[in-house]
Amino acid sequence: MSVPKLSLSENTEAALAKTRAEVVVVGTVRGADGLELAAGAEAVDAAFDGELADVLTTMGATGKAEETVKLPTLGRLPAGVVLAVGLGSPEVGPEDVRRAAGASGRALAGTARALTTLSAVDLQAAVEGTVLGSYTFDRYKSEPGTAPVGTLDVAAPEEGTTRAHRATLKAAGTIAEAVTVARDLVNTPPNDLYPGSFADRARELAEDAGVDFEVLDEKALARKGFGGILGVGGGSSRPPRLLRLRYRGPKARKKVALVGKGITFDTGGISIKPAAGMDEMTSDMAGAAAVLASVLLAAKLKYPLEVVAHIPLAENMPSATAYRPGDVLTMYGGRTVEVLNTDAEGRLVLADAIVRACEEDPDYLVETSTLTGAQKVALGNRTPGIMGEEEFRDRVADLAQATGENGWPMPLPEELRSDLDSKLADIANVSGQRWGGMLAAGHFLREFVAEGVPWTHIDVAGPAYHTGSPWGYTGKGGTGVPVRTIAAVLADVADHG
């Protein structure tokens, strides 16, 4: 993981006077009469005698979203290049800034130091977008690619105090760094990232952040009756684990439990998946990665909360010891589940972890996973589905939309619950219907949440992993979704209870 070093300047004019940046980033928008400069570009424009917009227009710039155009300064500025990046419409919001900053982050590859003025529009969005857009993962390449920008000078907005700007910079940098932690874990191939090695990495990160760490191996899981985790992990030569990480902040007023699915590779088990696209199942531990990154983030930002993460880890493989369709598993807490499909494994490991998390009487429970392909059918590859207790579900969805991760609230219609009735056990792990698969999975999880606990599940089956061309601040591979949503939830609970 490598993120740019961040440095705050009082304002654009002061930053330009003392910067050692090679490139200065300015924003552009599509105005009614053509390209216009965004806030923060005034001092740069002055160096071009007020003609920067005209020069950029001559070079073909239009201000459309994520457009990048480089312009040599020819000695007008200490920096040698102006990088103009489009924000789109003049009605600029935080996500517009975040995506434009992401495009600038990619364009800055190979730059030792850059100055961004997008921060004059929105400081947090500019920092998050630039850091995330700069992200690369080349650990397994014999010849690493071009290095991301090394240092990012950030011009402070005109409004607000220096103290407030520094706090925003720290929060934005820490959140972006947490996203890169999750991305790195998701992008690590499954021959190197399996339950045991994930646990080892989590221990290192927890110790560095001062977070309490515990791990249950397969023997401890058997003694304590974690039948879901053991059932799913039984087909692999690499045994399962259950991690517990705990951060207790100063003057902690609320306890938030986090649970994340950690299937380090998912073949589907005996109900094996098609070969096409199975390589993407390296991302089936994206929920675990997000939860791990989030509890570390809470510690680094010293939230006045107690945050306890429970992370079940298993590899779902077919073998002579794998669990089968038709098996009945006794879950942690004693409830029994009839397995009708071994590829509906995530809900089984999550159920064990949910029951364990609820034993600690949290004020809120947030869990996340690449739960169902049905999420992608319903909402596509960029929109997480959010289920749970209605009031808390809507609160989390609003925060997801504010962060740019765009989670959408989903119902749990009562008529779907009966589809999970089992002839053998307390509940079946899938319904016999083709429709409402994400919602049926939500019903299954709800059965294991303790009564009275405000709970939400964030299904990121599509949004956790991106296979297409880069866009905004999202490159190929792990996206780190929903770290920023969880960070926003923790901050909101810290502020409002």
- CA distances to 38, 166, 323 from 160, rounded to whole Å, are 19, 10, 58
What's the angle, vertex CA 29, arms to CA 27 and CA 32, rounded to 5?
A: 155
User: Would you name the residues annotated as active-site residues?
Assistant: 273, 347
How far is Cα of residue 160 from the mean position of the Cα atoms in its chain?
29
CA distance 240 to 242: 7
Both tokens of residue 25? 């980033």
Judging by beta carbons within 10 Å of its beta carbon (0-12, 13-18, 19+), is residue 68 exposed, middle or buried?
A: middle
SS3 362: coil
> Strands, DSSP E only, in 319-452?
328-330, 336-338, 364-369, 385-388, 408-409, 427-428
Neighbouring-strand partners of residue 465: 478
Please check whether residue 236 is in contact with residue 262, taking contact to mean a CB–CB distance below 8 angstroms.
no
CA distance 98 to 37: 17
Q: What is the bridge-based pairing of β-strands 305-316 and 364-369?
A: unpaired
Please check whether residue 294 is in contact with residue 401, taking contact to mean a CB–CB distance below 8 angstroms.
no
